[in-house]
Structure 1
Amino acid sequence: MTDLRYAGFAREAHGVSPAYETLARSVANDAPLLALIDTLPEAKRQPNLLFGAVRLLGGPVAPWADFRAFVTEHWDAVAREMRARITQTNEAGRCAVLLPLLAALPQPLALLEVGASAGLCLYPDRYSYRYGGAPLGSGVPVLDCDSDLLPAGLPTVVWRAGIDLNPLDVRSPEDLAWLDALIWPEHAHRRDRLRAAAAIVAADPPLLVRGDLVEALPALASTAPADATLVVFHTSVLYLVPPEPRAAFVSLVRSLPGHWISNESPEVLPPPGPIARHRPGTTTCCRWTGGRSPGHVVTVRA
């Protein structure tokens, strides 16, 4: 199974990260290295977790022989990092997809992110954007989005909170280094974006709660200001959640007042309504209203 996981990751990395495509394919065909990885719990065998741990420890991503030698010689340290950490990529660029819906809701907003990592996606009002080249806002980072869902303006956010199994603090050099290590090697623009977004968050940290997405959500949602529109949202999180608790979360979030925005693969969370395709192969979007929580669901496929 581990070999298939890495082979599948190689296909995902094709055309996006040549370094990771090569590493994943090579790991998939290396029986001794697979045997080492298989000593870890199944949930800790992810390619992103292995590659991020190696980079965090200062190891090489190329050439393959150097990567393999580093992992073999430093396996105890690599395994220790993989056991202790989870993949927590915090991509502020996802705010560009969320913004059109956030801007269309009754203002001001109380944002509650599930799977918040370090909370970088809780600051959509602080970033700048370009939608098809049209600018919105000023300052850095500037988030680009190839979409015709143009927001009317920036939202007004008066409360920000998040839930994560292991919340990160961008004021911590160690936590920031882990977020950096999770960015794929060739993506220098994302690394620059991380630093710029982290500076904004560090100056005004959000409320981040350590906990399970089902168990912690009701209590945290109840602390949102009553005079603001509650928006529960998540981006690329539910694929990590097994089907039963995922279904429990969906049922729970639909029972809350306010709005729910989901940025997930349709395979993970099928859209409950028709999909309007805005740009073939890049973005799909749907809106949904129903249950006790009239809201919007947006599903994005990269």
Structure 2
Amino acid sequence: MRTAETYARFATAEARGVSPAYERLALAVSRDPELLALLDTLPPAKRQPNLLFGVVRLLGGPVDDPAAFHDWTVANWPAVEEQIRVRATQTNEIGRCAVLLPVLAELPQPLALLEVGASAGLNLYPDRYAYRYGDHRLGTGEPVLDCELTGTAPPTRLPEVVWRAGLDLNPLDVTDPADVAWLDALIWPEHTHRRERLRAAAPVAAAEPPLLVRGDLVDDLPTLAAKAPAGATLVVFHSSVLYQVPRPRREAFVELVRDLPGHWIAAETPEVLPHAQLPEPPDDGMRNVLALDGRPLAWTAGHGQSLTWFA
């Protein structure tokens, strides 16, 4: 897909109705020959909108006005390019715990959680947060995660987690202000509630840090999985991660994770992780498919704000 098409699709499929600022910005970039030419000097995986916009925010550039964004980004391109080349979109969106919870709560307890693409590991604490599915509230912790749930009953219990581990090529540390600043920069401009969630969740992880390992999702997963305690159900999970993995490595990971003991939960777009005979999504926005052990269960919104069960 050409860079212009990537930005146009991001505007219409991901940002529309979710972030007016990023919708305007992505459409403007898709029609901006100068910016497109600069982006095309980068490796394909580094041209994605979330990465560019996050780096500009991190460096203090404007993202609310496309003309100002163009001028600032072109003028500061060496600094922007340097950061893009060393960073990745490690959103670590805590809201995704709300769509994982209905599955986690039904697995044999207690759980040993292993997140692939863990970033700072904030999604390894689904038992510590609180949830609100319409009028149904579960848990007493912070932050409170809201999710519009359709097609199934809300979970009635929190999981029991006895082990937390994460695997990432570049794990982040929630006790490091610079790493937290990058997580903040990746949150879309209007999403004040997501920033509040990040500020509430970071102390939870900092108080009892998970085991975060720098490594590859194929080469290093078996060794880390083998460290899970006996008597706990191993759950390997990931959300909006595999699009950053080249297809051959993605296929190798799927073959590997299917053979591990325990269970595998995935929340990825069907273009990245295909499934046969999916029903139509609830709307034309970009949706992940929530799947357990390769079996598709539900459509989910990217930040965990909704779940449409179809299994």
TM-score (norm 1): 0.92
**C-alpha spacing 1:296/1:227, structure 2 compared with 1 (3 Å):** farther
Distance in 1 separating the partners of 2:226 and 2:6: 40
Distance in 2 separating the partners of 1:258 and 1:172: 33
- Opposite residue 269 of structure 2, the aligned amino acid is S
Q: Deviations over 1:139-158 (max 9, x none)?
A: 31001111134213011100
Query: Structure 1: which 4+ aligned runs deviate by more than 4 Å?
Result: 274-277, 282-289, 295-299
Matches within 5 A, 1:1-302: 1-12=2-13, 13-147=15-149, 148-271=152-275, 280-281=282-283, 298-302=297-301
**C-alpha spacing 1:10/1:276, structure 2 compared with 1 (3 Å):** closer
Cα root mean square deviation, aligned: 2.1
Q: Contact 1:265–1:299 (CA<8 Å) still a contact in 2?
A: no
Equivalenced residue count is 295
Answer with 229-238 or 5-14: which moved more.
5-14
Distance in 2 separating the partners of 1:57 and 1:19: 18
**C-alpha spacing 1:6/1:284, structure 2 compared with 1 (3 Å):** closer
Distance in 2 separating the partners of 1:285 and 1:58: 35
Q: Contact 2:61–2:72 (CA<8 Å) still a contact in 1?
A: yes
Q: Contact 2:268–2:289 (CA<8 Å) still a contact in 1?
A: no
Report the alpha carbon displacement of residue 299 of structure 1 after superposing the two structures with TM.
4.9
Q: Contact 1:119–1:201 (CA<8 Å) still a contact in 2?
A: yes
**C-alpha spacing 1:284/1:39, structure 2 compared with 1 (3 Å):** closer
- Opposite residue 110 of structure 1, the aligned amino acid is A
Q: Contact 1:165–1:210 (CA<8 Å) still a contact in 2?
A: yes
Report the alpha carbon displacement of residue 14 of structure 1 after superposing the two structures with TM.
1.5
- Opposite residue 220 of structure 1, the aligned amino acid is L
**C-alpha spacing 1:34/1:285, structure 2 compared with 1 (3 Å):** closer
- Opposite residue 169 of structure 1, the aligned amino acid is D
Distance in 2 separating the partners of 1:174 and 1:56: 10
Distance in 2 separating the partners of 1:91 and 1:33: 28
Distance in 2 separating the partners of 1:8 and 1:104: 36
Structure 2: tracts of 5 or more residues without a match: 302-311
Distance in 1 separating the partners of 2:290 and 2:132: 22
What secondary structure, in the 3-state scheme, does the structure 2 residue paired with 1:61 have? coil
Q: Contact 1:231–1:260 (CA<8 Å) still a contact in 2?
A: yes
